[in-house]
């Protein structure tokens, strides 16, 4: 058997424990607010692309992640700068940074205690899942495929072969192995391809073979949630929580298996079912798990607004702002929400914080403009509308209103 063929067997034990742990250990909470670092050069998009559109960079990054991870990492960086609330951008950047560094990818796949550099990457994943616990991790399988491919190519070179000469054969063997690698791996790869029915079926098969099923139940719950099957998702999440609570408190906390994240997901599903009371209870349980879990404070604040409980709304939103001090998305949401509660001065301060943290983020500019506009601060409103229009995408739903108000204010001042 050639050395490169044996690599498939050799790396197998490194991947399955990692997969069953759902990819990453929980980074320290302080890393959730880590800044993005030096700005890379923006990748060149198509001539017709909208460079103010975070999704244009997101699509570019998804397309380039495997074959040009440096360019993908830059694209995801700019997507996250333009829209800090876009969970996919933070997740994609982490994947691209792993794919571009063979040593980091190898260390990550070994499932050992993460280094500081790996923890910094994990903070991107943590931010992403806090923004959206139903995040579709479409690039996950690329980590497995790239790791295997690199291991096989390394052994081929040791054998004196040329990986480029047998690229098609290499991919054929890799695909064949992945199809026979067990139900979890088959389910995971199917999930990455968007074949959710097959992924659910394979995960169900994997649960019959695994002693600890919480991670698999959470994965199935996410898929059900993405498919709009709230009752099935809730059932899986509840069963997962029962298992997670049985574990020793000293067990390693896993990012995707965090009870706070699961409770947040339950709360979102209950909101979709118009069970506001149940949702608030779920967010409260998330905070029992972690008092610093700011997504629960945000969701509780918004739920309190829906319930007409202004005092609770202000309290929860203020706590979210204090905890997530370096998250421009949170300040933008809190600022707009406070303004809607007729607390314009407090809301404006939050929006100014969002702008200071992320000047490329369009949303807080238009929210601030509307506060100035309603208070007849014409010059400030016009400046904020201009700033918003300079940053907003062509399809931003608030662009027409901003254009109309700016034109009206100009006309009134002539």
Residue 13 has pLDDT above 50, yes or no: no
Residue 155 has pLDDT above 70, yes or no: no
Residue 353 has pLDDT above 50, yes or no: yes
Percentage of the chain modeled with pLDDT above 90: 66
pLDDT at 174: 72
Q: pLDDT tens for residues 291-316?
A: 999 999 999 999 999 999 999 999 99
Residue 82 has pLDDT above 60, yes or no: yes
Half-sphere exposure of 202 (CA within 13 A, CB side): 19
pLDDT band with cut points at 50, 70 and 90 for residue 210: confident
Distance between CA atoms of 140 and 222, rounded to whole angstroms?
Answer: 15
Residue 402 has pLDDT above 70, yes or no: yes
Give the single-character DSSP code of 254: B
With residues binned 3-state (H G I as helix, E B as strand, rest as coil), the percentages for the chain, rounded to 5, are 70, 0, 25
Q: pLDDT tens for residues 116-154?
A: 777 778 888 888 999 999 999 999 989 888 887 777 776
Residue 171 has pLDDT above 80, yes or no: no
How large is the average pLDDT for residues 211-238?
95
pLDDT at 113: 66
pLDDT at 15: 39
Residue 406 has pLDDT above 60, yes or no: yes
Residue 17 has pLDDT above 80, yes or no: no
Distance between CA atoms of 152 and 12, rounded to whole angstroms?
Answer: 12
pLDDT band with cut points at 50, 70 and 90 for residue 158: low
Half-sphere exposure of 33 (CA within 13 A, CB side): 18
pTM: 0.86
Distance between CA atoms of 215 and 194, rounded to whole angstroms?
Answer: 19
pLDDT at 338: 97
pLDDT band with cut points at 50, 70 and 90 for residue 114: low
324 contacts: CB under 8 Å, gap ≥ 6: 32, 33, 294, 330, 331
Residue 24 has pLDDT above 90, yes or no: no
């Amino acid at each position: 058997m050639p050395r490169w063929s044996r690599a498939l067997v050799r790396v197998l034990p490194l991947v399955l424990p990692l997969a069953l742990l759902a990819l990453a250990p929980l980074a320290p909470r302080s890393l959730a607010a880590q800044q993005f670092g030096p700005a890379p050069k923006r990748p060149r998009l198509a001539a017709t692309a909208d460079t103010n559109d975070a999704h244009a960079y997101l699509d570019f990054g998804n397309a380039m992640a495997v074959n040009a991870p440096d360019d993908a990492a830059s694209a995801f960086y700019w997507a996250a700068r333009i829209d800090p609330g876009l969970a996919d951008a933070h997740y994609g950047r982490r994947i691209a940074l792993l794919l571009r560094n063979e040593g980091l990818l190898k260390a990550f796949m070994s499932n050992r205690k993460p280094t500081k550099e790996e923890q910094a990457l994990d903070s991107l994943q943590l931010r992403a899942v806090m923004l959206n616990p139903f995040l579709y991790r479409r690039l996950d399988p690329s980590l497995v495929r790239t790791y295997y491919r690199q291991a096989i190519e390394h052994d081929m070179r040791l054998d004196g072969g040329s990986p480029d000469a047998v690229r098609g054969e290499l991919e054929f063997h890799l695909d064949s192995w992945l199809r026979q690698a067990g139900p979890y791996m088959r389910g995971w790869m199917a999930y990455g391809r968007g074949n959710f029915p097959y992924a659910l079926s394979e995960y169900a098969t994997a649960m019959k073979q695994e002693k600890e099923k919480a991670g698999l139940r959470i994965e199935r719950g996410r898929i059900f949630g993405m498919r709009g099957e709230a009752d099935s998702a809730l059932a899986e999440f509840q069963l997962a929580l029962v298992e997670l609570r049985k574990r020793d408190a000293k067990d390693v906390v896993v990012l995707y298996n965090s009870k706070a994240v699961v409770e947040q997901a339950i709360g979102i599903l209950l909101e979709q079912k118009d069970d506001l009371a149940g949702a608030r209870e779920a967010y409260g349980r998330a905070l029992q798990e972690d008092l610093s879990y700011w997504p629960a404070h945000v969701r509780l604040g918004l739920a309190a607004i829906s319930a007409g409980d202004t005092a609770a709304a202000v309290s929860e939103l203020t706590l979210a702002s204090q905890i997530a001090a370096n998250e421009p998305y949170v300040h933008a949401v809190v600022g707009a929400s406070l303004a809607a509660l007729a607390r314009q001065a407090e809301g404006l301060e939050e929006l100014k914080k969002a702008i200071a943290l992320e000047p490329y983020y369009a949303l807080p500019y238009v929210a601030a403009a509307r506060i100035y506009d309603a208070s007849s601060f014409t010059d400030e409103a016009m400046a904020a509308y201009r700033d918003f229009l300079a940053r907003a995408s062509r399809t931003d739903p608030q662009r027409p209103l901003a254009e109309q108000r700016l034109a009206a204010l100009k006309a009134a001042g002539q």
